[in-house]
Structure 1
Amino acid sequence: MSQSASSSKAVRPANATDAVLGAFSNVPPNETLEHLIRYLGTWSGFDKAMMITQYGSKLVIAFLALQHALRVRLAGTKSFHAANGGSSVAVRVQRLGALVGNARVLYRIWGLLPMLQWMISMERNPPPTRLLHNIERIQGWAMIIYCPLEAVSYLGAHSILPVSARTRGKMDLFGVRCWAVYVILQLLHLVEDNRLLRLRARALERGRGHPTPARTPNTEKKVDLGEEQETTRGMWRELDARKDAILNQLWVNLGYLPLTVHWSTPGGLLSDAWVGFFGTIAASAGLRAGWRATAKRPELAAK
């Protein structure tokens, strides 16, 4: 046997091992995957992903129940199980949603700490207007009340703290009403934010005007802009980004508002399907904002 033949046989096992154990060696770096890990590594990102699962499961169950009802009607039978959507899949989805909802409450048990940090920071760096300052003060106090009530009620429900069911019910109602105060004030906050944004836009338009378009209308050639024009474009981009953030926050709080009203009322007002619908709106808008906030900025990517 020649030396080349023996050496080729010796290489084959190593190549086979590399092909199996090193299967990811040919996979290029993925910016989307890195972005997802970066986002889910934040408190907000993890919570929004869990929130999508929790409230999305209610929509899935509602869809399965509707599907089952239509199937029963077409079959002309009287067997209808709306509680689980007529399938074992709905039961498992319901268990998943309940488990995720329970985990979210447990995860929020230290939520008071960032609220305290926010209140301290706000007094040292107050918002631009007295109205916004007082709105945020009331919001902070509302959440300082809400967070401990939710935590104590949760621990009492799991027999960790000696809290009766009646007391837990009162704590839940009062706590969610504090959350409702926060949400309503946040909508007022967004109205004031939008007013200030429009004033800034008018002042910018009077002072600097609109910059020359980056591209000419009839061609795709870039226009050579001066330093002042680039600065003006940057200021308008900042205003556009702020406008988009306000609109996104509006959707978040329009999703939360019906939920807080629902849970603030004994017995509730909404069905599980509507809870899932509004919760998914709030979660999706929050996820969109967080995804954009954790995107790698071009100037950082170039370094």
Structure 2
Amino acid sequence: MDATASSPAAADAAAPAPSSAPEPAPVTTSTPSEKPPQPPAAAARARATHVRRVLTTADALLLRLSRLLSTPSGTDSLLCTLSYTLTFVAAHTRAYVSARLERFAAALAIKATGALLPGETLIAALPPSSRLARASRATEAMTKLSALVGDFRVFVRLWALLEVYTWARGVWLEDAGKQEKDKDYVQRALVWGEVAASAAFQALENSAYLADKGVLNGEWVTGEKGKRRVARWWVWSSRFWAAYVGLELARLGWVWAKESNEEQDKSKVSEEEDRRARALAWWKQVVSNLAWAPMTLHWSSEEGFISDAWIGFLGIVAGGVGLYEKWKLTAI
């Protein structure tokens, strides 16, 4: 029942109510969303629970990060993703600063055009705004940190030739232990090609890096001719890296074709869960190598053809695939 409909004043809105008529009681309503205030003790317990939850989450995150950084592969995956993320963000920040400065200069030129006489030239040196100055400093800091991380990753690869040797030894022993009928000569040739390309890449990168740092300082790496020779080592190391990526994509394609043929034989079909796991691992390798491919071709050219923004994006994809796998292994 409407409260105002029972009021005498509602029957005749034009007639004033008698002075002795009682005032209608105000109608109060409460919304369901309103909650009674919590007592101080309950509020304190809620805050303590929230703080404990935050600390527990931070503790688990730091423990997983510690386990990730305790292995060389985990450290490299994290630093790889970090380096290319910094490159990606710095490229976009640099483009933002340049665009703002260009717009400011264009607006200033338009306003000054009407005040200048024919033949006059305006030369102005204006400091950037504090916002653009902070963005510029942040861009420089991210660029330098990315270069520092990249330099560290190249340094720790100085002894990666030992890993290539271990890899080659394992491939050799695996081939020697197989029967002749069980050997896959196509995949075997592709893997040995990858081993050779990796060894050449690593040897050239090590030599170029040590020459740039002045560790190798003979006449054949100093002077103008020596610098050009070292620059060619960098380019050729990237070309062997590109060859490895191409061989790996070819190997993955061969594995896919081979397993597709084997699945037609019901006796060779594995369990569904195992098949899905292998398919997921295969796709991750494909995505990672497809992201590396244009980058290796970019560095294989003396001038390059990919912007820093694209290098950062592709590096995030390529490094992120490996980081995701390493991060999953840190779960308790």
User: What pairs up with 1:4-15 in 2 under 5 angstroms?
Assistant: none
User: What pairs up with 1:6-85 in 2 under 5 angstroms?
Assistant: 32-72=61-101, 75=104, 76=107
Q: State the structure with more CA Rg.
A: 2
Q: CA deviation at 1:128?
A: 5.4
Q: CA deviation at 1:265?
A: 0.8
Correspondent of 1:193 among 250, 255, 272: 255
Q: Secondary structure of the equivalent of 2:277?
A: helix
Q: Matched residues in 2 for 1:240 and 1:278: separation? A: 26
The runs of 4+ residues in structure 1 deviating greater than 6 Å are 78-81
User: What pairs up with 1:276-287 in 2 under 5 angstroms?
Assistant: 276-287=312-323
Instruction: Say whether 1:149 aligns with 2:213.
Output: no
Residue 245 of structure 2 contacts residue 289 of structure 2 at CA under 8 Å; is this kept in 1? Answer: yes
User: Structure 1's 141 and 85: CA in aligned 2 closer, same or farther, altered over 3 A?
Assistant: farther
Q: Which residue of 1 aligns with 2:300?
A: 264
Residue 262 of structure 2 contacts residue 268 of structure 2 at CA under 8 Å; is this kept in 1? Answer: no
Residue 259 of structure 1 contacts residue 278 of structure 1 at CA under 8 Å; is this kept in 2? Answer: yes
Structure 2: tracts of 5 or more residues without a match: 1-51, 110-125, 176-181
Number of residue equivalences: 244
Q: Matched residues in 1 for 2:268 and 2:254: separation? A: 24
Aligned-CA RMSD value:
2.9
Q: Which amino acid aligns with 2:272?
A: W
Q: Which has the higher contact order (CA 8 A, sep 6+)?
A: 2
User: Structure 1's 202 and 287: CA in aligned 2 closer, same or farther, altered over 3 A?
Assistant: farther
Q: Matched residues in 1 for 2:214 and 2:157: separation? A: 18
Instruction: Say whether 1:169 aligns with 2:216.
Output: no
User: Structure 1's 160 and 238: CA in aligned 2 closer, same or farther, altered over 3 A?
Assistant: same
Q: Matched residues in 1 for 2:141 and 2:304: separation? A: 24
Q: Which amino acid aligns with 1:110?
A: W
Q: Secondary structure of the equivalent of 1:202?
A: coil
Q: Matched residues in 1 for 2:314 and 2:278: separation? A: 24
The alignment-based identity, stated in percent, is 26
CA displacement 1:103-146 (0-9 Å, x = unmatched): 01001111100110000100111395211111010110111111
Instruction: Say whether 1:249 aligns with 2:285.
Output: yes
Q: Secondary structure of the equivalent of 2:252?
A: helix
CA displacement 1:189-242 (0-9 Å, x = unmatched): 111121233234333xx3498xxxxxxxxxxxxxxxxxxxxxx7xx22111111
Q: Which residue of 2 aligns with 1:239?
A: 275
Structure 1: tracts of 5 or more residues without a match: 1-22, 210-231
Q: Which residue of 1 aligns with 2:194?
A: 139
Instruction: Say whether 1:94 aligns with 2:143.
Output: yes
Q: Matched residues in 2 for 1:28 and 1:56: separation? A: 24
User: Structure 1's 194 and 128: CA in aligned 2 closer, same or farther, altered over 3 A?
Assistant: farther
Q: Matched residues in 1 for 2:153 and 2:241: separation? A: 16
Q: Matched residues in 2 for 1:34 and 1:166: separation? A: 47
Q: Matched residues in 2 for 1:29 and 1:72: separation? A: 41
CA displacement 1:139-190 (0-9 Å, x = unmatched): 1011111111111110110111112211211111111111111000000011
Residue 62 of structure 1 contacts residue 85 of structure 1 at CA under 8 Å; is this kept in 2? Answer: no
Provide the TM-score with structure 2 as the length reference: 0.66
Q: Matched residues in 2 for 1:207 and 1:246: separation? A: 22
Q: Matched residues in 2 for 1:136 and 1:280: separation? A: 26
